[in-house]
Amino acid sequence: MSDSVLAIGTRKGLFLARSTDGGPFEIEPIQFSTVAVPSVAIDTRGATPRLLAGIEYGHFGPSVMYSDDLGQTWGEAERAPIAFPEKTEATLAKVWQLLPSPSEPEVVWAGVEPGALFRSEDRGVTYRLVEGLWEHPHRPLWQPGGGGLCLHTIVNHPTDPGVLGVAISTGGFYRSSDGGLSWEAANSNIRAPFLPEGQQYPEFGQCVHKVTMAAARPERLYLQHHFGVYRSDDFGGSWQDIGASLPSDFGFPIVAHPSRPDTVYVLPLTADIDRTPVGHRYRVFRSDDAGATWQPFSEGLPEAPVHAAVLRDAMTASEAGLFFGTRDGEVHCSRDDGQRWSLVGRHLPDVLSVRAAVL
């Protein structure tokens, strides 16, 4: 028997759902009720799976919780697991991303607001600031996007721990080849149409919404920009626009297939001034040729007009399936690459983050 687990972080709590042998996902009772959970991760690298949750305690601030018994109990470091050194004069506002390193068994990365990267070497219990990125000369020039100055995406090479990339809103995409000691902006050919004519291809400052790695071909990245969908075949050295045939190139999530590098999924929204699904229908667009062409899928999704967006971390693909959650509290699942969908749950709070894994 194989079990799958789905972690759903919402504006008002965490929900875990389980499936056995491909059966329907059953949602368990809420955890961290009334607490926002903007980031979740499922670490299956060890003998025991570990769940990680970046939470917002309100008055008490953000933190990271961990569970080694699939959510039965939770632990937290004795001191704040993520804290800026005093010399930075910065304060942690939110944990936007948690990523277990695929090539270092005890390492977990955390992306936070304000625009910084942290590294854990005890599987996500405590973290230290990656000073190479914090001290980059571009950092004082980064400007916050609509969601704040957030480092919302981390991509890490599956076999080379030195190769690392991050996306910051609105700093752009940065990459490192030495495990985070040094960084370079990697935004070539990404257009920023909100800038004046003649300045629309800057070295940095792009409003990147999400980046995903094709794990089976890790030098290939896909990127959802505020205006545009892009692909890079050299880990951000240069980018190619692949969004021309989509009904809209605005959106937040972009997800690569876990084993097929030419397959990628997006869920377009109408426009930056109309953040509703195109045609008021949830349609997941899939490309099987690295973005040359796209095909929409919606069988099993609501047919009535819908108006809720899907946020950047509220869509995920793994061996367990393809999932997305909406801002009006629905979670949908496909186990055939998006062709047919089933409802996991509805009437949840605003879905912020979704992750799934086969245990």
Q: What is the pLDDT of residue 321?
A: 97
Does 4 map to a domain? no
| pLDDT classification of 2: cutoffs 50, 70, 90 | confident
Q: What is the pLDDT of residue 108?
A: 98
**Which residue range is the domain that position 240 belongs to?**
41-52+76-358
CB 235 within 8 A of CB 188: no
Does 10 map to a domain? no
| pLDDT classification of 256: cutoffs 50, 70, 90 | very high
Does 156 map to a domain? yes
What percentage of the chain carries pLDDT values higher than 90? Answer: 94
| pLDDT classification of 214: cutoffs 50, 70, 90 | very high
Is residue 237 exposed (0-12), middle (13-18) or buried (19+ Cβ within 10 Å)?
Answer: middle
User: What's the CATH number where 278 sits?
Assistant: 2.130.10.10
23-53 tens-digit pLDDT: 999 999 999 999 999 999 999 998 899 999 9
| pLDDT classification of 57: cutoffs 50, 70, 90 | confident
Q: What is the pLDDT of residue 79?
A: 93
Mean local confidence (pLDDT), 246-254: 97
Q: Which contacts (CB < 8 Å, 24+ apart) does range 175-184 have?
A: 175/235, 175/236, 176/132, 176/133, 180/117, 180/119, 180/130, 180/132, 180/133, 181/132, 182/132, 183/132, 183/133, 183/136
Q: Give the number of domains in the chain.
A: 1
pLDDT at 1 over 60: no
Does 35 map to a domain? no
| pLDDT classification of 327: cutoffs 50, 70, 90 | very high
Does 317 map to a domain? yes
Mean local confidence (pLDDT), 221-228: 96
183 closest CA partner among 228, 236, 230: 236
Average model confidence (pLDDT) across the chain = 96
Does 265 map to a domain? yes
Q: What is the pLDDT of residue 43?
A: 97
118-174 tens-digit pLDDT: 999 999 999 999 999 999 999 999 999 888 999 999 999 999 999 999 999 989 999
Do you know the residue count of the chain? 359
170-190 in b/e burial notation, b at 16+ Cβ within 10 A?
bbbbbbbeebbeebebbbeeb
Does 121 map to a domain? yes
Q: What is the pLDDT of residue 147?
A: 87
| pLDDT classification of 99: cutoffs 50, 70, 90 | very high
Mean local confidence (pLDDT), 178-189: 98
| pLDDT classification of 194: cutoffs 50, 70, 90 | confident
More reliable by pLDDT, 198 or 277: 277
Q: What is the pLDDT of residue 145?
A: 87
Mean local confidence (pLDDT), 76-84: 96
Neighbours of 97 (CB within 10 A): 25
Is residue 249 exposed (0-12), middle (13-18) or buried (19+ Cβ within 10 Å)?
Answer: buried
Q: What is the pLDDT of residue 46?
A: 85
SS3 133: helix
Q: What is the dihedral of CA 348, 351, 355, 359, to 10 degrees?
A: -10
pLDDT at 357 over 70: yes
Q: What is the pLDDT of residue 58?
A: 79
Does 311 map to a domain? yes
